[in-house]
């Protein structure tokens, strides 16, 4: 006889996407010999302000399946954070942008896990996963309450 398996739901997240034009730079790229290599791997140009369309994908835990967080409202709120300059892209890396966004989301929606992806032009980026925890784990980013 075949084995029988049950499904166990471990986490439910909603997710939204949006994009934002921004200017940033990586000042170390001008002088760091690992970056300013002078050959085909040279990325010293990143040391100067340059434009990107930053693409965001934000997932957040919901506690029930009937619009615990309504995703259209959530998306509009996230877009407004940048439109009103509550958050700014500045000269941050994708990882820094995701962390700053997580801190702001956490202040409004505490106790929820998040997965935030930020990419430059939809080509290269970073995905950060945040768990809601009170542990003193070395990998915990302390988010503002």
Percent of the chain with pLDDT over 90: 74
Residue at 38 is within a domain: no
- Domain count for the chain: 1
Query: What tokens does 62 get?
Result: 């919901």
Percent of all residues in the chain with a pLDDT value above 70, rounded to a whole number = 91
Q: What is the pLDDT of residues 24-54, one digit of tens each?
A: 899 999 999 999 999 999 999 999 999 999 9
What are the start-end ranges of the H helices in the chain? Answer: 71-83, 94-108
Residues 6+ apart with CB under 8 A from 128: 95, 98, 99, 102, 115, 116, 117
Q: Would residue 143 count as lying in a domain?
A: no
Q: Is residue 72 part of a domain?
A: yes
The two tokens of residue 82 are: 């940048």
Where in the sequence is the domain holding 125, given as residue range(s)?
13-22+52-130
Q: Is the model's pLDDT at 138 over the cut of 80?
A: no
The answer as to whether 86 is a domain residue is yes
Whether 31 is covered by a domain: the verdict is: no
């Amino acid at each position: 006889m075949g084995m029988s398996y049950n499904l166990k739901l471990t986490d439910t997240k909603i997710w939204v996407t949006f994009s934002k034009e921004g200017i940033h730079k990586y000042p170390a790229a001008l002088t760091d010999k690992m970056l300013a290599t002078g050959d085909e791997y040279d990325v010293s140009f990143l040391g100067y302000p340059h434009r990107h369309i930053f693409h965001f994908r934000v997932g957040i835990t919901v506690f029930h399946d009937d619009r615990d967080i309504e995703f259209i409202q959530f998306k509009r709120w996230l877009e407004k954070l940048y439109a009103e300059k509550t958050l700014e892209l500045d000269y941050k890396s994708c990882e820094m942008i995701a962390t700053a966004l997580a801190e702001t989301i956490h202040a409004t929606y505490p106790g929820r896990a998040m997965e935030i992806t930020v990419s430059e032009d939809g080509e290269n980026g970073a995905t950060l996963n945040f768990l809601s925890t009170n542990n003193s784990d070395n990998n915990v980013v302390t988010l503002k309450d």
